[in-house]
Amino acid sequence: MQLSFALVFCWRESFFNIIFAKFTSFCSCTTAKSCHICDSELSLQTSKLMLNKQHTLFVCTTCASVWQNGKRVGESKGEQLLQQLQQLAQNWELRNKFLIQGVECMSACSRSCVIAFVAEDKSTYLFGDLPVDSSASAVLQCASQYYAKPDGSLPWLERPEPLKKGILASIPPLSKWTKLHLHSC
């Protein structure tokens, strides 16, 4: 008897859960699989589609700006961080899959420098208090972790040190709420 195995991702776990399992151990149908932990339907094809969606790293370019007479003077720390990230990303394995985009003010001025990870059907993460001189490498490392997770989860223990303290928001994907069919008053 030949056994068939599949690589299956659990979407509802708080960590990236890889399960190798015999197809028939999930259900009697060999085409549909569900996770034995959370009963959600899973497929390798769906997981691959999640990884192929556009991912974006937003970087606030007005963070830590110097202002005189209502005008910005010189280069901001946010612009410096953006340049460092773009430079490091030239040799990054995800350079063609993760857009790095400057944004004119992300409204977290007291927590500069600020970045965000965004992708369709994934949680959005907003981080602040990032030191411009020492965080670019950690930001790309965390972006790689975000990319690898089907749901975008970034548990505290798994994040690089500079991104453990500065989390400002973790926003669930809109698709999570539309699936619940919640209606407002």
**Could you state, in order of their start, the residue ranges of all structural domains in the chain?**
5-50, 53-177
Cβ burial of 115 (10 Å; 0-12, 13-18, 19+) is buried
Cβ atoms of residues 8 and 21 within 8 Å: yes
CATH topology of domain 53-177: Glutaredoxin (3.40.30)
Cβ burial of 63 (10 Å; 0-12, 13-18, 19+) is buried
pLDDT values of the chain reduced to their tens digit, one per residue, 185 residues? 333 333 333 333 322 332 223 222 333 333 334 444 344 444 444 444 445 678 999 999 988 878 888 888 888 899 999 999 999 999 999 999 999 999 998 998 889 899 999 999 999 999 999 999 899 999 999 999 999 999 999 999 999 999 998 999 999 988 766 655 555 55
Give pLDDT, residue 85.
96
